[in-house]
A and B are shown apart, each in its own frame.
Chain A
Amino acid sequence: MNLSTHRTDIDPRPGQAPTAAAPAIEVVGLERRYGDFHAVRGISFDVHPGEVFALLGVNGAGKTSALEVLEGLAAASAGSVRVLGHDPRRDRAAVRRYLGVLLQHSGLPGDLTVRETVHTWARTLTDPRPVAEALEQVDLAGRADIRVRSLSGGERRRLDLAMALLGRPRVVVLDEPTTGLDPESRRAVWGIVRNLVDGGAAVVLTTHHLEEAEELADRIAILQAGLVVLSGTPEEISATQPATIRFTVPEGAPPLPSLAGVRVERTAHQVELSTFALQPTLTQLMTWAGEHDLELTGLQARAASLEQAFLAVADGALPTAA
C-alpha cells in the first residue's frame, strides 16, 4: 500500500506550500550492497523544502546505510540520489555547502575546547553562523571553555548538532539526533528542528523514538530489511492499523451483535474488538448495550497509534508495500 500519493492532503505549514517547490532530496530505487548482504533494497522518497521526513526502522533496517548515500559518504550500488539537484558524491563540492550532516556516531579530538572546536569548524565553512550564537542555540554557551573530553554524552550530542547546523544548511540529515539526550534536551532539539523547517530547510531524520517521529515528521517511511514497507503522514500510517475497543461484558449478557468487518477476541468477560471503522462499530455496540440495558465496564476506544503500525511492521504482520 503506497500512501505517498496522498501527500498533498496533509496540512502544510502556515504560509508555505512544501509540495509546490522542487524536492530538495530525491531518492529513486536506492540500493546498497556489502558483498552478499543487501542492506538497502530499492527505496524511493522525496523531501521538499520546509518538510521533515523521518525514516523509522529497527536496528539493521538500513536507515544509516541509506543516509550515507545522501550524505555523499558512500556510493549507491544502484538507483540515484539527488540533493538540490546534484549527486551528493560526485558533485560533492556543489552540494556540501548546503548540506548539514549529523552522523549517528562521530568523534572530536578531546583536547580542544568546545569554542575552539566550533571555531575551527566555522573556518572551514563558506558562510558560518557566529560561534556564540550556535553555542547558545544548543545551550552550550556556559560550557564554551570546557574541553570536549569533559563533556557529558548529551552535551557532546548537542555540540554535534551545533556543528551540523553551523553552515546554515538548506538540507539537513540527522541520524538519530536525540539518542542519549534527556527529555528536556530532546524537546529543545525538536524546537531547533521546527525552526529549521520554518526557515525553509528540508530535514531527513532517523529515530527510534516513535513519539519523536509523530511530533516532528510531516511524512514517515518505515524501513524493514532494506525496504520501505509503509510510508505516509503519521496519521495515514496509523490508519493502516485497526482501532481497538475494549470492555468487560457483565454476567449473563446476551451474545454480541454481529459486527461486519470487526475482529472479536474474547477471554472470559474481556472483549477486544479490532475495527477500521471505529465510529460505526462503536455506535452499533452502544446501541446494543442500550437495548439490553448493559453497563460495559472499563470501556476504551482508541485509534491505532504509530507505535502499533511500527510494531506490526517489526513483527512482519504487514504485507510489504509495492
Chain B
Amino acid sequence: MTTTRSAIEHTSPPHLGSGGRARRRVLALAAAETRLLLRNRTAVMSSLLLPLAVVAAVGAITVSNGGTVDGPGLLASAFGVTLTFLTFYNLVTTFVARREELVLQRMRTGELTDAEVLLGTAVPTLLVSLVQVVLVAVGVVALGYWSAPVDVVLPLVALLGGGALMVVLAAVSTSFTRTVEGAQFTTMPLVLTATMLSGLLIPLADFPEQLARVARFLPLTPVIELSRLGLVGETWDGQAVDTAGAWAASPLPLAVLAGWLVTGAVLARLVFRWAPRR
C-alpha cells in the first residue's frame, strides 16, 4: 500500500504547475470544440446573425417610435441579448448534445476535472459571444452613435459575470433538458424573464414600482443594470448618474449577480447529469 502511494507522489512531472496543466487541458478541449464549431457553418451563421438581428430590431423600433438611437444603450442591450439568445441557448444545446452523444462521460474518464470539461466545452460559445458584442460596439461607433461611457469597469464586470452566470445556469438547465430540440422549451423561462423583466427590452422604470423592485433580483437584471449604469449612466429607475453615482448604485446589483453565480454553481454541481438517463 505505502509503496503504491509513494510511487504516485514521486512520478508527477515537476516542470508544470497544476495551474499550467489545467490551462493546457482546457485549451486542448476548447481548441477541439472551436474546430467543431467552425466546421458547422450553419451554427456559426445563426449564432452570429440572430443576436445581431435582434439588436438591429431594437434600434429600428426606437427610431420608428420617433426616438433617437442611443448608442451606449444599444450596446447594453447587446450584452443582454447576446448573453441570453446566444451564450445561454448555445451552451444548453451544446452541453445536452455532448451529454447525449456520451462525450461528457468519456471526458470524465481522463485527467480533465469536471469544471475543466464544462469550461473547455463552453469556450467557443463564450468567444463567439465576445465577438458579437465587439461587432455591435464597432457598429455603434462606425454609425456615429457613440458617446463616452460613465464607467468601464461596471459594464466589464457585467459582461464577464454575465458570461459566467450563463455557463452555470445553462449547466443547471441541462438537467431538465433531455434533447437538443427540447432546449427550445426549457430555455424559455430564463429567456422570457430576461427579455421581459430584466430591463433589457422594457426599462424597469416603466414597470409598476413593486414589480420593478422584485425584478431587480432576477438573474439577468443585475447584468443589464450594471451595463446601463456604466455605459449610459442611468439607474434602474431612470435617474441619470455620473461615475460616482454609478458606483454608489452598484452594490445591490453586484451582490445579486454574485448571489446568482454562487446559487447557480451550487445548483449545477447538485443537478448536472454527465450521462443520458437510462
Contacts and interface: CB of A to CB of B under 8 A. Distances in A.
A107 B32 contact: no
B103 A109 contact: yes
Interface in B1-36: 1-5, 7-8, 12-13, 21, 24-25, 27-29, 31-32, 35-36
B269 interface: no
Interface in A47-80: 71, 73
A21 B1 CA distance: 9
A126 B111 contact: yes
A106 B109 contact: yes
A120 B120 CA distance: 12
A117 B29 CA distance: 10
Interface string A93-129: 1111111010101111101100011001101111100
A124 B28 contact: yes
A22 B109 contact: no
Given A24-B4, A111-B40, A116-B32, A126 B13 contact: yes
Contacts of A191: none
Nearest to B117: A124
A85 B5 CA distance: 6
A171 B223 CA distance: 47
Contact of B35 (A84, A92, A112): A112
Chain A interface size band reads 35 or more
A94 B8 contact: yes
A86 interface: yes
A96 B107 CA distance: 12
B102 interface: yes
A109 B98 CA distance: 8
A85 B101 contact: no
Interface residues of B, number: 34
Given A109-B36, A109-B101, A73 B109 contact: yes
A42 interface: no
A98 B8 contact: yes
Interface in B243-277: 274
A124 B101 contact: no
Interface string A14-39: 00000001101000000000000000
Given A84-B4, A112-B32, A126-B13, A96 B111 contact: yes
A95 B8 CA distance: 8
B106 interface: yes
A112 B31 CA distance: 11
Interface string B80-118: 000000000000000000100111011011111100000
Q: Identify whether the interface residues of A are mostly helix, strand, loop, or mixed.
A: loop
A111 B39 contact: yes
B105 to A, nearest CB: 6
A226 interface: no
Interface in A180-235: none
Contacts of A120: 28-29, 31-32
A105 B32 contact: no
A123 B24 contact: yes
A167 interface: yes
A85 B1 contact: yes
Contacts of B8: 84-86, 94-95, 97-98
Given A106-B109, A109-B36, A167-B111, A124 B29 contact: yes
A109 B103 CA distance: 7
Nearest to B5: A85
A163 B112 CA distance: 14
B4 A167 contact: no
A163 B111 CA distance: 12
B269 to A, nearest CB: 14
B258 to A, nearest CB: 28
Nearest to A93: B113
A95 B39 CA distance: 35
A19 B167 CA distance: 48
B32 A109 contact: yes
Contacts of B35: 112, 116
Contacts of A84: 4-5, 7-8
Given A106-B105, A107-B103, A109-B101, A124 B1 contact: no
Query: Which residue of A93, A95, A111, A127 has the most chain B CB atoms within 10 A of its CB atom?
Result: A111
Contacts of B4: 22, 24, 84-85
Interface of A: 21-22, 24, 71, 73, 84-86, 92-99, 101, 103, 105-109, 111-112, 116-117, 120-121, 123-127, 163-164, 167
Top 9 A-B pairs, shortest CB-CB distance: A123-B28, A107-B102, A101-B109, A106-B106, A107-B101, A120-B32, A85-B5, A124-B25, A85-B4
10 contacts: A24-B4, A73-B108, A85-B2, A99-B109, A107-B105, A108-B101, A109-B32, A117-B32, A120-B32, A167-B110
